Structure 1
Amino acid sequence: MEALEPADFERAARDRLPSDVWDFVQGGSGAERTLAANRARFAECRLRPRTMVDVSVTDQRLTLLGSRLDTPVGIAPMAYHQLFHPEGETATARAAGRAGALMVAGIFASRTLESIAGAATGPLWLQLYWLRRRDALAAVVERAEAAGYRALVLTVDAPRIGRRLRDARNGFAIPAHVRAVNLDPALMAASHRADQGSSGLADHAREQFDPTLTWADLAWLRERTRLPIVLKGILTAEDARLAAEHGADAVVVSNHGGRQLDGALPSLAALPEVAAAAPPNLPVLLDGGVRTGTDVALAVALGARAVLIGRPVLWGLAVDGEDGVARVLDLLKAELDDALALLGRPRLADLDPAAVVPA
């Protein structure tokens, strides 16, 4: 398939995936207002290009938490990549390495932490949910550090799973041949069955996610790792300041891809206040609704150090495995190069709020 933009993979993936898996990856919570608003916010912004600037060379390289990256486009944490391709997260990791991009693996990865690390040639971070079983959480953290992961990303916006109606209507459960192999099977049993009007993922979250998580608990995690700790799910200036006060090393502005609180702020709308509240030594990332290189430029101009993409990666994986993911990343990198040149801001550091007329 000749893909000219990431959306080409969306159309092709829809034809290849079972309908319940398609709804699982595409859907949001509730009436899916936040899911739609994530994209709409990008569409509402306008760019202010400068002219008569030497743009013969563009440069989108950066350093993030000590890692050199060729692009500010990274891969967001997502579970169960083997739903989309037999090689799962190892194919995704190889593609990220080819692009010089960051990959954030999920705690519910369907390949082992060690095999993902073995496939990766670029930096890897590991995403965590706060589990009731602290021993299981600590064991995963220890394995990640031993395998060479460079940061931990704690998802803080999921004390419970949002009401994902597509999954409930489909009675969606993870098929038996796809497993979260880095955790005790007993912890994951509920994800493989679904009651009428519910989903296996929602049932599993009710059983295993610890809703008592508070800022004080970060000390427990800090005591168990030397890795940087990134908090994902920050949407307000208040929480950005608290993250800094409690020792976070970075934050991700995120509404979980529109899959948690329906009606929450679009990520791009929340970004300026979070970026303004974060101290200079606290990198701010963004996910949610990024689909083009121009979207990446907008996010960086409004305060993001980098962006993480989710659904487009899974579209590429479903269509053509490693090569599909690599092509999605290459398209976004090429689009970002075009945006930098046409904006008259050839380096990432040249992007600032003056480049954008906000929505």
Structure 2
Amino acid sequence: MTDRPPHAPVQAPLQQLPAGLGAAADYARLAQRFIAEPLLAHLDGGAGHDRSAAANLAAFGRWQVMPRLLRDLRHGHTRCRPAGLDLPHPLLLAAVARLGEYHPQAERAVAQAAAATDTVQVLSTLSSLTLEEVAAAAPAAPRWFQLYLQPRREATQDLLRRAAAAGYRAVVLTLDAPVQSPSLRALRAGYRAPAAPAPNLLPYAAGDAALPTPPLGPGDSRVFQGALRHAPRSEDLDWLLADSPLPVWIKGVLHPDDARALATRGVAGLVVSNHGGRSLDGAPASLDCLAAVRAAVGPQLPLLFDGGIRGGDDVFKALALGASAVMVGRLQAHALAVAGALGVAHMLKLLREELELTMALAGCATLADIGPHCLVAAPAPIAPPPSALAPGPDERPPC
């Protein structure tokens, strides 16, 4: 028996890079040594039975990259300008809640890695440190703030004011998780989310607690009349777009009609995402929706992609299907747990180099050269006929 906390790290984060790292995806494998099983089940799982989380990873296997020959690549680079922001590469660090569960330095370490690699860090409303503390850790790093609309508009207004004052350059409004189904995998492993309010929300906790909560009446639903009582509505988005001091991106777009409607409302850009499979279990993979969303909004509106990035070839495929840049979430937490800021920076370096290698072999010198013409649909695997699986007359069935 031990009184060790159930989510405590299995092994302390390393102060140097571990041996045997050959690819960015290796951080997902190594993280099992550093993250306790309940927390790892929460991180790697999705909602319900994890069908959408698994679909995000599987979707990349449905595309193959076509190699090209004799291209002049001496002027090649990965620079991009999503929404006018000059970046050396198309990688952003997605908002991940409560990174303090994975490393003592939490989002502070991620901010330092972002500064070292010129990467945009998108900070979660539910971060383990306040948005001001994270900004102070790396003042020059480009950073955005991920926003959940709060039950009281004055709380949302204050979060926006604080973000602008702390140097955040944009707001990423998450709309695809007004209610979430629990991760059965995480529950069975014993994961329990922290009960205390996130530090960014502590100033508003008393006011939120004072909001009247009408009791459910006969026939009322715990979902519709209960959990969705403060869910965002169209008028809330209109208010935010009119009131925000920062450009507003919308995260959680999968349907082309939603994308088309949002594009007319003055948003800075959209994030094609199924919330990492954590919202509606059974929703399609983010990658499978990307091309249709791009077709719906046209070539000009910036699109970010979020959902299942594990390697540079994944980044290439997302760009080819219409993304302007991609966001990296779970792999960020894996790398943080393994080696802190150094791990996150190294993971980004590997992803960028893997992207460059894929571009070179596909004959693409710049991101502008990447498009649907670079991909071919992977052939469906051919199942052997049933007779091929049955033992012959002189064979014994395997033990």
What TM-score results when the alignment is normalised by the length of structure 1? 0.90
Q: 1:22 to 1:233 in 2, by over 3 A?
A: same
Kindly indicate whether residue 63 of structure 2 is the aligned counterpart of residue 45 of structure 1: yes
Residue type at the aligned position of 1:233? G
In the alignment, which residue of structure 2 is the partner of 1:15? 33
Q: Which moved more, 1:46-55 or 1:285-294?
A: 46-55
Matched, 1:290 2:312: no
Separation in 2, partners of 1:258, 1:76: 14
C-alpha displacement of 1:223:
2.8
Residue identity in the other structure for 1:271? L
String of CA shifts for 1:82-112, please: whole Å, max 9, x gaps. Answer: 1011111011011012111111110011111
| 1:40, distance to aligned residue in structure 2 (A) | 0.9
Structure 1 portions without partners, runs of 5+: 191-202
- Which is worse superposed, 135-144 or 230-239? 135-144
Name which one, 1 or 2, has greater alpha-carbon Rg. 2
Q: Contact 1:114 / 1:147 at 8 angstroms: preserved in 2?
A: yes
Which residue is 1:139 aligned to? Answer: 158
Contact between 1:81 and 1:88, CA under 8 Å: does it hold in 2?
yes
- In structure 2, the residue matched to 1:167 is 186
AA at the equivalent of 1:284: L
Bigger Cα displacement from structure 2, 119-128 vs 321-330? 119-128
The whole-number CA distance in structure 2 between the counterparts of 1:339 and 1:75 is: 21
Q: CA deviation at 1:251?
A: 0.3
Aligned match of 2:109 = 91
| Conserved? CA contact 1:244–1:279, under 8 Å | no
Q: 1:174 to 1:161 in 2, by over 3 A?
A: same
Of the three residues 346, 355, 358, the one matched with 1:327 is 346
| Contact kept? 1:298, 1:356, Cα under 8 Å | yes
- Other structure's SS at 1:69 match: coil
| 1:71 paired residue number | 89
In structure 2, the gaps of 5 or more residues are 1-17, 210-221, 379-399
Q: Does 1:111 align with 2:125?
A: no
In 2, Cα distance between the equivalents of 1:251 and 1:355? Answer: 23
Q: 1:317 to 1:218 in 2, by over 3 A?
A: same
Map of 1:349 onto structure 2 = 368
TM-score by length of 2: 0.81
1:95 touches 1:322 (CA, 8 Å); kept in 2?
yes
Q: CA contact under 8 A between 2:98 and 2:126: conserved in structure 1?
A: yes
CA distance in 1: counterparts of 2:302 and 2:328, whole angstroms: 17
SS at match of 1:43: helix
AA matched with 2:233: T
1:31 deviates by 1.7
For residue 280 of structure 2, give the secondary structure of its aligned residue in structure 1. coil
Note if contact 2:164-2:246 (Cα within 8 Å) is conserved in structure 1. yes
Closer, same or farther in 2 for the Cα pair 1:209/1:307, shift >3 Å? farther
Rounded to whole Å, the distance in 2 between the matches of 1:60 and 1:215 is: 37
Residue 100 to residue 289, structure 1, CA distance change in 2 (3 Å): same
Q: 8 Å contact 1:23–1:166 — kept in the other structure?
A: yes
Moved over 6 A (4+): 206-209
Give 1:263 shift: 1.3
- C-alpha separation in 2, matches of 1:32 and 1:227: 34
**SS of match in other structure, 1:231:** strand
Of residues 324, 337, 351, the one that matches 1:305 is 324
* CA apart distance, 1:172: 2.9
Task: Give the RMSD, CA atoms, in angstroms.
Answer: 2.2
Matched residues in 1 for 2:119 and 2:107: separation?
Answer: 14
Cα deviation for residue 22 of structure 1 reads: 0.8
The alpha carbon displacement at 1:185 in A equals 6.9
- What fraction of aligned residue pairs are identical, expressed as a percent? 42
Q: Which residue does the alignment assign to 1:153? A: 172
Alpha-carbon separation, structure 1, partners of 2:63 and 2:90: 20
- In the alignment, the residues of structure 2 paired with residue 228 and residue 105 of structure 1 have an alpha-carbon distance, to the nearest angstrom, of 15
